[in-house]
Structures are given as C-alpha cells and as structure tokens.
Chains A and B, each alone.
Chain A
Amino acid sequence: MRIDLNVDVKHLTRVEGHGNIYVRIRDGVVEEARWEVVETPRFFEVMLKGKHYTSAGILTARICGICSIGHALASIRTTEAAFGVVVPERARRIRLLAKHGETLQSHSLHLLFLATPDFLGLPSAIPLMTIAPDVFALAGRLKGLANRMSDLFAGRTTHPTSLLVGGVGRMPPLKEMQQIRDELHKSLDDLRVATEIVQKFKIPDFTRETEFVSLKGERDYPWIGGNLLSTDGVDKPEREYLAMTNEYVIDHSTSKWAKLSRESFAVGALARFNNNHRFLHPEAWDVAHAVGLRPVSHNPFHHNLAQLVEMVHVTHESIRLIDELIDLGPGTLAVPVEPRAGEGMGAVEVPRGILYHHYVFDDDGRVEKANCVIPTTQNNANISHDIEELARTYANTSTTNEELSLIAEMLVRAYDPCISCSVH
C-alpha cells in the first residue's frame, strides 16, 4: 500500500499563541514534519533596557497572560540576587502560595478546559455545559478556586499587584486565608473526581526517549530557585543557566530553539515529575499510580497526567503553607532595597517548565541588559522532533489525514505551549 499523508494546521487551536503543524508523508516516507512558531516578536528584553528595577517585574509580567505570576517572581528573584536582598519568611511563603495559585489555575485551565475536549471528541469545553454539566461545573470550581487563591496571594491572577522587590505588598486578610484553606481541603474531593475522569482518557501509546530538565529538589518538590538538573545527569547551579539552555535561532520560527545533551530536551510538569517524584505528597503519588504515570516517563502525552499529579501535590502543600502563615501572624512583609550595579539570575518553575530571567543593572538600579529564557522556547525543538517521530510511527499505518492531524494537535497541546511567551 502506498501511503500519502498531509497535515497542515495553521494557528493551532486551544493553545496560547500562534503555531503551525506541518507533516508531509509520501509513499510511507516522512518527507517533512515540523512545528513552526509564527507569533509576532515583541522584544521585551530590549524594552527592558533603561527601565528601573521597580518596573522590570511589571513589564515582564506582560510577557504572558497565563504565567504572569511566574514572570513577576522570576524577575524579582533575579533583581534580589543582583542586589543581595534577603526577603522575610512571610513574604517567602506568600510568594510560594501565589506560585501555587498560578500552577493550579494554569493546570486546571489546560487539563480540564483545553485538553479534555480532545479525549471526549469535542471541539471545545463549551458543549460540556449541556452534555456533561457536572464535569463543566467541576472544572469551573477548580479553576475558580485557583483564581481566587491567586488574587488573594498575588493581588491579581493575571498581572499580579502585590509581588514586589524586597518582599510582598500586603498580608492577605486572615478570614480570607482560612476560607481559601477550607476550600482547598474540599477541592481534594473534586480532584478525586478529576482523577476518575482522567483515568478514562485513552492516552496514545507513544514514546520517544527525551532528556528532561527541571529545578533539582533538595528536600521539597522545587518551585523557586536552586540547582538545575537533567535526566541525562547534567547538574548545574542556577547562575549557569545558559549552559543548560543553549538557545539558537532557526529560519522557520520566531521562537528560538534550545538543546542540551541531545538535539532537544523537554521542560514542564512531566520533567519536574520525572526528576523530583520522590518529593511528592503521598496522595499525589497515589494519583500518579491511579492514572498510570511512572517515572521516568518518555511519553509526551503524559504531561497531562503530570499536571493532575501536581495539582494534588500543590493543593496539599498550599494547605500546609497557609497554616504556617496563619501561625506566623502579622509582621514584616518587605525589607528596604538598596540598588547597586551588578548581575543576577533567577530560575522559577512556572506551570509549563523552568523559566529564567537574567539582568545586568547599573548603579541606579536600571536594567542595562536582559535575557529571558521561556519554558516553551526550551520545548519547541522537542515538540518538533516528537512530531517527526509521531509521523514516522503513523507513516505506514492506515491512518487518515484527519486522524494524524488530531493526534499531532493533541501532542502539541499536551506540552501546554505558551507560544506568545516563547516569542517575547
């Protein structure tokens, strides 16, 4: 049988930003298979030049509407590293809670609203309102709680208003913290139902051996700062992030590509899980078992499963952090900041993977030079190589164009790409 297949997806749907999938198979041979990012360049790093350190986090938050809290935190960490600032305990916890709010918000949006329709054969989550109102309501509850949690600890879910260099801008009111903590407790029931929903997903049986990069946990599942680790054994301090990312420019994409020990690597929930699973809360570990996720998984579709596992982990950790914050009571939230000439790097695990900011400051605390390395930028080459391998896998099967297109779209969506973020 002579097999010709074509996939030409312009502006993939249910992802953040603009990307295309292109596959051409002739006589069962893959002639071309690639992922193209066509998002418009915005030049944030250049816009940052000359900006006062107090505006850097406000500006870089606007790189991304989904992971703005992560960008603000990376920016702040970078600046504090350059100025030698040590933030108070309370601020550290509030920031981590803001981070967790974002992870819950982003993972619930992606897993339940954007990825789930594929597994149920729907074009979007909107028909769920009529055919499975309980699923739609559950998704809404989980995402709504995450948004309110982010609002409480970051000031606002999209583009935070209380994450500042030196600490945080306000102590969340006690009553509201107690309320969110109780709701987080209750949401564990919703997560159990979500686990049952995800258990029924038919996850494509596709693997391609991949190098996974994330922060390296020392005692906890890591989110903010620390060493950098890859499943191929590379282990570097945060300040050597450039040796971990190796970005380069290619012709058919406005996002850069990246590589480490192999031709590409992956970051994100699955990378964090693969590298740091032993620090997971026992209940999150149980969920991993229940949905069939075992380390080290090389199936990119398992990003979806790892997101669910992280939601359970982060929910438990947030409950603990809120209790600790309540016990600490009111007190210092920020320290004075003395800007000075210097250089800083900051790594933060945002929902889609490890994010790096790097600034050089002048004496007045104005940015002289800036670099931001985005998770999706690091994933783009890997996504493209996965598509090639996927095309090869299906090249000699009785797959139709539509089927191959759908599975390729699901593959890209599994990475939860933040495309406008990757072209910043």
Chain B
Amino acid sequence: MRYLGIEPVKPRVGIFDFSGCEGCQLQLLNKEESLGAFLSALEIVHFREGSSEASDDYDIAFIDGCVTREDEVVRLKKIRSIAKLVVAMGSCASFGGVLRHRNYIDLDAANREVYGDKPKETGKTRAIHEVVKVDVTIPGCPVSKTQVERIVQHLVLGVPFHDVVYPVCVECKQKFNTCMFEKGTLCLGPITRGGCGAPCPTGGLGCWGCRGATVDPNLKEFKDLALKRGFSEAEIDERLAFFGGFEGITCASI
C-alpha cells in the first residue's frame, strides 16, 4: 500500500484485552469494505481474539477494557514496557466505562452475593491511564472504527489527526433527526464529545454520554434545561454517571 509514492513502514501492533466486553476490539474486524486495507497497513503480531500468533515485540499497543484485578496490572505494565505507544481504546480503557459503576458498590458484598462462600479475586475499576501512561485515548462504547482508522493513518502515514471538539448534537443535526428533547426523551448530546455519528439519538435512545464530556461542556446550563424539561435530578445524574466519562467534571448544581 503506497501513499504519495512512499511505501510506509508497517508498525508492529498488539491488541490486548482487559476487563470489558471486548466489543471495542471486535470493531477492528468490522467495516469489511476497508478491512483488507486496514489489516495490510499494520503488522498485527498479537491479537488473542483474532489469531493464535503471539509475539512480544510490538511498537503500538491497543488496549481494550479496564483494570479490575492485580494480574491485569502486571500484564499492563509489561505491555507498557515494550510498546512505544499505548492507545486506550474505548470507554472502559479511557475512563472505566460502565464498569465504573463497580466503584460505587460494595465489592465484598457483591462477591458473596454472586459466588457465595467461594469469593473470587477482584478489585476496584481503574482506567488504563490510572495504571500506566497512555499516549492516545479513543473513548466510545464501542469505539468507532472510523476513528481508529484515522488514528492508524495518522500513526502509519503521518496524516494529521484532530480530535473531535464539537458535541454529538452537531452530528445529530447533520442527520436531520428530530431532537430527542422534542420527543420527551433525555439526551446528553449537547455536552458529549462527538465523533460517533450520533447513532443513539438516531436510533431513538438518546445520547448516554459514552464518549465523555466535550471540550468546555456547559454542564450547569444543560442541567437547568433538562430540569426545566421535567427530567428529575436522579435521572440526569444516573445518566451522567453511566459511562464514567463525566466523573470529576462538576458544575454548581452537581
């Protein structure tokens, strides 16, 4: 695959899974129309879910999932010591995703409830950057393959990559959707980072904020607006906490 007449160097890539649903790495095998080109641009040397080949020599590590057990800390640190570049792929890897909820429950009680007198080793949820240094973060539950491809083009070919700075609303408007608020449904689109193409408002669900906060979100104004539209404080807070992407971002009323 030549680009501007130059044969690019294929980076050696490892794809690694931690606690999560593995939906993010599955996206790497999607978008079949460009799958061949995507796979040819990389030399995938470690991808447990897709291949039996496994090498411990790679330049870029894509990490899917978060850390919830000590053996994962050891595995992650080893990966960090090998890879030149670590990419946190998905909301679990970026900020814990839905598994952030685990940090608000009593894990010992949960362990007893599920496993009775044979409790299993477990621990609080930590995002990848809470354990090792992360170079690139791509949130999303799941990540968008288009965004992963852009980042790969950037890393392999030096094509400039700009993080999305506008909220989901911009992409939702481009799809000519009727606003969820007009249909009486809560939507975090105005304060959530775009880049996904707004599938959730398009599907009728409304945005649940899986990509976390957009640049400079006006949380206070959003919350006032949602309250005025009749949504309860509890509902808004449950939604904001859902993927862990708004944790630590506060406003006067939160």
Shortest Cβ distance from A169 into B: residue: B204
Tell me if A55 and B203 are in contact (CB < 8 A).
no
> A159: which B residues are within 8 A, CB to CB?
23, 141-142
Interface size on A, residues (CB 8 A): 60
Tell me if A170 and B68 are in contact (CB < 8 A).
no
Q: Separation in Å of the A101 CB from the closest CB of chain B?
A: 13
> B44: which A residues are within 8 A, CB to CB?
126
Tell me if A65 and B235 are in contact (CB < 8 A).
no
A-side interface mostly: loop
Q: Indicate which residue in B22, B24, B33, B97 contacts A144 across the interface (CB closer than 8 Å).
A: B33
Q: Indicate which residue in A11, A47, A169, A250 contacts B203 across the interface (CB closer than 8 Å).
A: A169
Q: Indicate which residue in B20, B50, B142, B200 contacts A420 across the interface (CB closer than 8 Å).
A: B20
Known: A43-B114, A124-B47. A55 touches B52 (CB 8 A): no
Instruction: Digitize B91-113: 1 where CB-to-A-CB distance is under 8 Å, 0 elsewhere.
Output: 00000011101100101011101
> B25: which A residues are within 8 A, CB to CB?
65
Shortest Cβ distance from A250 into B: residue: B118
Tell me if B204 and A68 are in contact (CB < 8 A).
no
Tell me if B27 and A158 are in contact (CB < 8 A).
yes
> A63: which B residues are within 8 A, CB to CB?
21
CA distance A318 to B82 in the complex (A): 47
The residues in A between 155 and 179 inclusive whose CB is less than 8 angstroms from any CB of B are 155-162, 164, 168-170
Q: Separation in Å of the B97 CB from the closest CB of chain A?
A: 7
Partner-binding segment picked from B35-43, B154-162, B212-220: B35-43
> B54: which A residues are within 8 A, CB to CB?
13
Q: Is A380 an interface residue (CB 8 A)?
A: no
Instruction: Digitize A106-133: 1 where CB-to-B-CB distance is under 8 Å, 0 elsewhere.
Output: 0001000110010000011110010000
Q: Is A185 an interface residue (CB 8 A)?
A: no
Q: Separation in Å of the B86 CB from the closest CB of chain A?
A: 20
User: A residues touching B (Cβ–Cβ < 8 Å)?
Assistant: 11, 13-18, 40-43, 45-47, 49, 51-52, 55, 58-59, 62-66, 68, 109, 113-114, 117, 123-126, 129, 136, 140-141, 143-144, 147, 154-162, 164, 168-170, 249-251, 254, 420-421
29 chain-A/chain-B pairs, Cβ below 8 angstroms: A13-B48, A14-B48, A18-B17, A41-B68, A41-B115, A41-B120, A42-B19, A46-B109, A46-B110, A47-B105, A58-B205, A63-B21, A65-B23, A68-B23, A113-B29, A113-B50, A124-B51, A155-B205, A156-B199, A158-B26, A159-B141, A159-B142, A161-B202, A162-B203, A170-B202, A170-B203, A249-B115, A250-B118, A420-B21
Q: A13-B51, A41-B115, A168-B204 are in contact. List 19 more A-B contacts (CB 8 A).
A: A14-B48, A16-B49, A41-B111, A43-B105, A43-B111, A43-B122, A47-B98, A58-B208, A59-B101, A64-B23, A124-B53, A126-B39, A143-B30, A144-B31, A147-B30, A157-B30, A161-B199, A249-B115, A420-B20
Nearest 9 CB-CB pairings of A with B:
A169-B204, A65-B23, A155-B203, A161-B203, A124-B51, A144-B32, A162-B203, A140-B32, A46-B110
